């Protein structure tokens, strides 16, 4: 019960890694408010967790709207009674090189993967400070640290998110607010499966083949990333601050 009495916000909660996060934090005693785009998906997750005797709250909305980001923090603080941990996990993955990337794809990547994190963190920090400190964990990507091929908007947004994490980690450390990022390589979620489908590859077959390219022998499952995020958010990581932690099964991005 590492998160007993902790108030936690999780974005992208209805997605692959997000669902694992919501369940993990709720089962370790946290008061959780999660968010995602679709009210129906959020409701389904809350109902599934209730069947396991786990409670959580949710607010559906689009993180590309600044007003929604600020409102999400205020609503969470009001409903949970404060804020100790913010998990910026929502993300989107436009695929393509520069000539294939439209204005919308570019702005979408930056709005969801970077700008929303800025708005959420800015609104959250006074509340974390009021609580005497806290933790922010961002989900970046190894593809933001190294040049993955043909995903220029995604890689740029995740690279900026990694830099943002290091800057914010430095600036907020004196407030006892630890800011870190997890940088996964490939994870078995709808985001990865959409890439297989786009290339006409059967997802099960694609997963097996991709697993062979990972030195550890398989693609990560969502709970394996959620566990690292929970570690970074917990007191076990009390001296980890401004870090971008690669969780890749030792797979390099690009040879
Ligand atoms: N799956 C991978 O291989 C992989 C690798 C590295 C990093 N990541 C990162 O992990 C995080 C979680 O992704 P996932 O793999 O679980 O994928 P996912 O697509 O299952 O989950 C992403 C979630 O973000 C939500 N989201 C997207 N745009 C939004 C918006 N405008 N407003 C509100 N919510 C929005 C989606 O609805 C979805 O539920 C993302 O930040 C992603 O970039 C994933």
- Give the tens place of pLDDT for each residue, 73-119: 999 999 999 999 999 999 999 999 999 999 999 999 999 999 999 99
Ligand 1 lined by 180 (C-beta under 6 Å): no
Q: Give the start-to-end residue ranges of the domains of the chain.
A: 7-185+223-246, 187-219
CA distance linking residue 13 with residue 87, whole number of Å: 10
pLDDT of residue 74: 98
List active site positions.
Answer: 154
Give 174 Cα–ligand 1 centroid separation in angstroms: 30
Alpha helices in the chain (DSSP H): 16-27, 39-50, 66-80, 103-110, 116-130, 142-145, 152-172, 190-198, 203-211, 222-233
Of ligand 1's listed atoms, the one at least distance from the Cα of 154 is: 43
116 lines ligand 1 (CB under 6 A): no
CA distances (Å), origin 103, targets 63, 94, 116, 140, 154: 18, 11, 18, 22, 13
Above 80 in pLDDT, residue 217? yes
Ligand 1 touching residue 244 (CB < 6 A): no
- As a whole number of angstroms, the distance between CA 74 and CA 68 comes to 10
Q: Whose CA is nearest to atom 19 of ligand 1?
A: 191
Ligand 1 centroid distance, CA of 176 (Å): 28
Q: Which residues contact 98 (CB under 8 A, 6 or more apart)?
A: 152
Nearest to 90 by CA among 146, 138, 58: 138
21 CB near ligand 1 (under 6 Å): no
Please determine, for residue 255, whether its predicted confidence score (pLDDT) is greater than 70: no
In the chain, % of residues over pLDDT 70: 100
Residue 33 forms beta bridges with which residues? 9, 57
Sign of CA dihedral 209, 210, 213, 215: negative
The arithmetic mean of pLDDT across residues 220-249, rounded, is 98
Give the per-residue pLDDT at 254.
75
Residue nearest to atom 2 of ligand 1 (CA): 187
pTM of the model: 0.98
pLDDT band for position 250 (cuts 50, 70, 90):
very high
Give 161 Cα–ligand 1 centroid separation in angstroms.
14
Q: Categorise residue 53: left if φ over 0, alpha if ψ from -120 to 50, beta otherwise.
A: left
Q: Is the pLDDT of residue 128 over 60?
A: yes
Counting ligand 1 atoms within 8 A of each CB, the residue from 14, 17, 141, 194 with the most, and so the one to mutate, is: 17
d(CA 28, CA 55): 11
Q: Is the CB of 206 under 6 A from ligand 1?
A: no
Q: Thinking of the domain 7-185+223-246, which architecture would CATH place it in?
A: 3-Layer(aba) Sandwich (3.40)
């Amino acid at each position: 019960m590492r998160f007993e009495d902790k108030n936690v916000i999780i974005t992208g909660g209805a997605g692959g890694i997000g669902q694992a996060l919501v369940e993990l934090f709720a089962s370790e005693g946290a008061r959780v408010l999660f968010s995602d785009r679709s009210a129906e998906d959020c409701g389904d997750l809350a109902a599934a967790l209730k069947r396991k005797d786990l409670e959580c709250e949710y607010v559906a909305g689009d993180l590309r709207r600044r007003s929604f980001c600020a409102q999400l923090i205020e609503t969470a603080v009001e409903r949970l009674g404060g804020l100790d941990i913010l998990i910026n996990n929502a993300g989107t993955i436009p695929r393509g090189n520069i000539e294939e990337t439209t204005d919308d794809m570019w702005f979408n990547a930056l709005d969801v993967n970077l700008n929303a994190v800025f708005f959420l963190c800015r609104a959250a920090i006074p509340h974390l400070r009021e609580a005497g400190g806290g933790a922010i964990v961002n989900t970046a990507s190894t593809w933001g640290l190294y040049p993955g091929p043909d995903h220029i908007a995604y890689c740029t947004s995740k690279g900026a998110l990694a830099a943002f994490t290091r800057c914010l980690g430095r600036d907020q450390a004196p407030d006892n607010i630890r800011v870190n990022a997890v940088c996964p390589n490939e994870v078995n979620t709808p985001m990865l499966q959409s890439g297989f489908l786009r290339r006409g590859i059967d997802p099960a077959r694609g997963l097996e083949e991709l697993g062979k390219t990972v030195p550890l022998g398989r693609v990560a499952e969502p709970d394996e990333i959620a566990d690292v995020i929970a570690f970074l958010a917990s007191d076990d990581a009390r001296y980890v601050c401004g870090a971008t932690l690669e969780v890749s099964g030792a797979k390099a991005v690009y040879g």
